[in-house]
Amino acid sequence: MMRLLVRSAVVLVLVTAADVAGLEAQANARWYIATYTNHLLVWDEASEEVVDRIEVSNFIPTGIVVNEDKDRLYVMEARAESIEIVDLEQNRVIDEFTLSEGNVTVRINGFAPHPSDERAALFVKRYTKHADRYEIEGPFILEYDLTTKTVSDTIPWPDGEERENVSFRYSPDGETLYLFANDIIAVDADTAFGKLGSRVDPRAQGSFWELTADQHLETFADIRNRVGSNAAGLFVLAGEATPARRRVLDPAIYREAAARLDRHFSISVIDCSSTMDSPVTQEVLRDLDALVVVSSPWVDGAAAAGQTLDWLSARGMTGLLRRTVVVLNDSDGHADKRTKSTLAQQFSKQGQRVIEVPFDGHLRPGGVIDGTAAMSRPTRTRLLEVCAALAEHFPRQDDRTRDRR
Domain that holds residue 108: 99-176
Same domain, 170 and 233: no
Boundary of a domain, candidates 176, 198, 228 = 176
Q: How large is the average pLDDT for residues 339-343?
A: 83
Query: Residue 10: is its pLDDT beyond 50?
Result: no
Number of Cβ within a 10 Å radius of residue 98? 16
Amino acid at 131: A
Please give the pLDDT value at position 403: 58
Same-domain pairing of 137 and 198: no
Q: Are residues 203 and 161 part of one domain? A: no
Cβ atoms of 294 and 8 closer than 8 Å: yes
pLDDT score of 93: 96
Residue-level pLDDT at 118: 96
d(CA 147, CA 119): 7
CATH number of residue 36's parent domain: 2.40.10
In a domain, 9, yes or no: yes
Most confident of 19-33, 155-169, 207-221, 281-295: 281-295
Beta bridge partners of 153: 143
Confidence of residue 115 (pLDDT cuts 50, 70, 90): very high
Task: Choose the final residue of a domain: 160, 176, 192.
Answer: 176
Residue 150 has pLDDT above 70, yes or no: yes
Q: Are residues 287 and 234 in the same domain?
A: yes
Could you tell me if residue 399 is inside a domain?
no
One domain, residues 298 and 216? yes
Q: Same structural domain for residues 204 and 60? A: no
Q: What does residue 76 show for φ and ψ, rounded to 5 degrees?
A: -95, 155
CA distance 140 to 108: 10
* Cα–Cα distance, 233 to 236 (Å, whole number): 10
| 214 backbone dihedrals φ, ψ, rounded to 5° | -80, 115
The reply to whether 281 falls in a domain is: yes
Burial class (CB in 10 A: 0-12, 13-18, 19+), 176: exposed
Domain annotation covers residue 400: no
Is 6 in the same domain as 61? no
Q: What is the pTM of this model?
A: 0.70
Residue 349, pLDDT > 50, answer yes
Same domain as 186, residue 146: no
Give the type of residue at 265: F
Examine the fold and report which residue of 176, 209, 242 is the final residue of a domain before the chain moves on: 176
Max CA distance (Å), the chain: 68
Of the ranges 127-136, 273-282, 294-303, 344-353, which is most confident? 127-136
Q: What is the rounded average pLDDT of the residues 300-306?
A: 85
Same domain? For 301 and 340 the reply is yes
pLDDT tens digits, 170-206: 999 999 998 887 788 999 988 776 788 888 888 887 8
The CATH number covering residue 373 comes to: 3.40.50.300
Judge whether 32 lies within some domain.
yes
* Any domain includes 397: no
**Exposed (0-12), middle (13-18) or buried (19+): which is 389, by Cβ within 10 Å?**
buried
User: How many domains are contained in the chain?
Assistant: 3
Same-domain pairing of 24 and 8: no
Rounded CA gap, 151 and 153, in Å? 6
CA dihedral of 279, 285, 287, 290, whole degrees rounded to 10: 150
Together in a domain, 228 and 125: no
- The residue type of 232 is A
Residues 87 and 161 in one domain: no
305 occurs within a structural domain: yes
Name the nearest CA neighbour of 145 among 97, 79, 76, 75.
97
Question: Are 405 and 318 spatial neighbours (Cβ–Cβ below 8 Å)?
Answer: yes
Give the burial string for 142-175 (b: 16+ CB within 10 Å, else e). Answer: bebebeeeeeeeeeebeeeebbeebbbebeeeee
Q: Rounded distance, CA 229 to CA 401, Å?
A: 31
Residue 398 within a domain = no
Give the per-residue pLDDT at 97. Answer: 96
Q: Are residues 249 and 208 in contact, defined by beta-carbon separation less than 8 angstroms?
A: yes
Q: Per-residue confidence at 1, pLDDT binned at 50, 70, 90?
A: low
